Amino acid sequence: MQYGSAVHEEVLTIKFILLVMVGFGIVMGRGRSGERPVPLRPRDYTFGWWVDGFHKADSSRQSDWFCVETGHYVFALDVKNLEHAKFRRRHGEGYLQDVTTGTAAFKKAAETDFRIEVEHGGRLYRARRCLAGRSGNLCDVYLRESARFVQRYWFPGLEFYDGNGKMLKSESMLEV
């Protein structure tokens, strides 16, 4: 709407940050000044991947699960329904061994209670899906940074609904 219009809509900018970092203390070093940092361990890694692959021939037959795997845990999120998530603590063998196991860690992870919620105007709203979940195009999730310890992904266009199905108009993004 144009400035000065009789009807104004409040647009909320909501940014959720779920920062997945393994070994932050190791990266930054530990102990007093002058001490050597703790050496890297085989379990100190992070990588993100799509359970059914990034390029899909027929989206109706495959899921849109995004997975973050580390040497310490696995976390997965369904971009078509953000209330579906999986989590499992694990003891990874190391990056080179774990990238060859395919979807084994994802399959062992259990459904977990995961909610992205915001309260506005006395109402509670939950995120149901993101832009990639609406469009079916996984290119609508952006890899922003990739390194051994941290991978940052942006999931723009979250849709929030209250218990009665009313949508909260917002510009929002999940960062994993």
Per-domain residue ranges of the chain: 12-175
Looking up tokens 């580390």 gives 70
What is the predicted pLDDT for the residue at 37?
74
**CB contact set of 52 (below 8 Å; sequence gap of 6+):** 62, 63, 64, 65
Q: Detail the DSSP E strand segments found in 5-146.
A: 12-17, 46-50, 65-70, 73-78, 85-89, 110-112, 117-120, 123-129, 142-146
Q: What is the structure's pLDDT at 81?
A: 92
Name the residue among 160, 76, 155, 174 with its Cα closest to residue 117: 160
Task: State which amino acid sits at residue 62.
Answer: Q
Q: For 42-85, what is each residue's pLDDT tens digit?
A: 888 888 888 888 766 665 556 789 999 988 999 999 999 999 99
How many CB atoms neighbour CB 176 within 10 A?
A: 19
47 bridge partner residues: 69
In a structure prediction context, what are the per-residue pLDDT tens digits for the chain, which is 176 residues long? 333 333 333 333 333 333 333 333 333 444 456 677 777 788 888 888 888 887 666 655 567 899 999 889 999 999 999 999 999 999 888 888 888 888 899 999 999 999 999 999 999 999 999 999 999 888 899 888 777 667 888 999 999 999 999 999 888 888 88
142: its two tokens = 């952006």
So what's the pLDDT on residue 56?
A: 64
pLDDT of residue 41: 81
Whether residue 54 contacts residue 48, with contact meaning beta carbons closer than 8 Å, is answered with no
